[in-house]
Amino acid sequence: MIVVMSALASARDISEVIARIRAMGYEVHLSEGKERTIIGVIGRGRPLDREQLGLMNGVQQVMPVTHPYKIASREYHPDDTLIPLNGIQVGGDTLAIIAGPCAVEGRSEIIEVAHMVREAGATALRGGAFKPRTSPYSFQGLGEEGLRYLAEAREATGLPVVTEVMDPQLVSMVCDYADVLQIGARSMQNYALLHAVGESQHPVLLKRGMSSTIEELLMAAEYILSHGNMRVMLCERGIRTFETSTRNTFDINAIPVLKQASHLPVIADPSHATGKWEYVESVAMAAIAAGADGLVIEVHPDPEHAQSDGRQSLKPERFAALVSRIAQLAPVVGRRVALKVAAD
């Protein structure tokens, strides 16, 4: 941390700031200029609050030198974290493709979709049993019944299940049915929930909040990691901007930024990022070209009758076409797709 003293700071102001820093167990390096003095804070002491220093007399600015996350950083863990999922290692050469409907709507429907996406090359099945909905009057999901159907779909197809958990009280129940816990964008800073999934040992798909910075996403991951659960996949799903022609703005820059800053796998969600099925393929291709480790794609056999987010869901045949195109693209970026056809 660096403390820039104001040009008007008195010698006493400066010595009080130094005393405060030393009292917390740090050393100090002074840089006295003609116009102003700058104080470098050195070593490892007790947590030092940047804001508090900023309030001391004569202090103009306090600037952090390092980022606030630790376990999530590449400095801490230089190698890519690999998370096993259905025979592949998420974060490794093979791309993860997670597909399924926004919400589980019925038993036969989810089993049917699971078969379809598996045929097309999906690594895992997604589907919401608990749905965060802006309106209290919208369909809120089937709850535990939906989880049971997901588990049945897994049994029928072998696909692991990715599903959202919204309430810390329900983490253990969701763990009974699901293979990967999804933290939705609206819950990214629900610290009680991050705490609860951090204590489970289930892999987590952590979605970036609609208006969270990349640093905040990594801090949310840090919450989970610091509770001992190291299996976190970061998910870019679009951010809120002034643009209204799409539901969100997919932050493609975030992919190389996250891959550089962190060792955790990065998954892209082009369905939520665009909100319109006709743009999903282009953005999915872009995400993989930029270095993403996988995709989450909404697929619904009958989008017109979907109970939520039909507007952004692909029909199964379009999803299959998308996976083929991704399979063509993958080698260009040193990746591959575990196509079921190839496996057979």
Greatest Cα pair distance in the chain: 77
DSSP notation for 100-112: E-SB---HHHHHH
**What would the x/- binding string for a second copy be over residues 89 to 128, using CB under 8 A?**
----------------------------------------
Residue closer to a second copy (CB basis): 177 or 223: 223
Enumerate residues 6+ apart whose C-beta is below 8 A from 197: 165, 171, 181, 183, 204, 224, 229
Would you count residue 329 as binding a second copy (CB under 8 A)? yes
Q: Which stretch binds a second copy (CB under 8 A): 91-99, 143-151, 154-162, 182-190?
A: 182-190
Query: What's the closest the beta carbon of residue 229 comes to a second copy, in angstroms?
Result: 12
Residue closer to a second copy (CB basis): 89 or 246: 246
The Cα–Cα gap between 326 and 339 comes to 10
The Cα–Cα gap between 154 and 98 comes to 13
Q: Which of 166, 171, 178, 314 binds a second copy (CB under 8 A)?
A: 166
Would you count residue 191 as binding a second copy (CB under 8 A)? yes
Q: Which of 108, 138, 172, 201 binds a second copy (CB under 8 A)?
A: 138
Q: Which stretch binds a second copy (CB under 8 A): 76-84, 106-114, 143-151, 241-249?
A: 241-249
Q: Which of 114, 146, 162, 279 binds a second copy (CB under 8 A)?
A: 279
Enumerate residues 6+ apart whose C-beta is below 8 A from 23: none
| Torsion angles phi and psi, residue 262, rounded to 5 | -135, 160
Would you count residue 286 as binding a second copy (CB under 8 A)? yes
The token duo for 89 is 């290692």
Enumerate residues 6+ apart whose C-beta is below 8 A from 137: none
Q: Are 46 and 56 in contact (CB under 8 A)?
A: no
Q: Which residues of 147-161 are buried (b: 16+ CB within 10 A; e: fewer)?
A: bbbbbbbbeebebbb
Residue closer to a second copy (CB basis): 152 or 275: 275
Query: What's the closest the beta carbon of residue 184 comes to a second copy, in angstroms?
Result: 9
Contact positions with a second copy (CB under 8 A) in 295-324: 303-311
Residue closer to a second copy (CB basis): 155 or 213: 213
Query: What's the closest the beta carbon of residue 157 comes to a second copy, in angstroms?
Result: 26
The Cα–Cα gap between 283 and 298 comes to 13
| 46: nearest Cα among 24, 18, 21, 68 | 24
Residue closer to a second copy (CB basis): 97 or 153: 97
Residue closer to a second copy (CB basis): 34 or 343: 34
Q: Which of 90, 96, 183, 239 binds a second copy (CB under 8 A)?
A: 239
Q: Which stretch binds a second copy (CB under 8 A): 76-84, 108-116, 146-154, 211-219?
A: 211-219
| Torsion angles phi and psi, residue 89, rounded to 5 | -110, 110
**What would the x/- binding string for a second copy be over residues 5 to 34, using CB under 8 A?**
----------------------x-xxxxxx
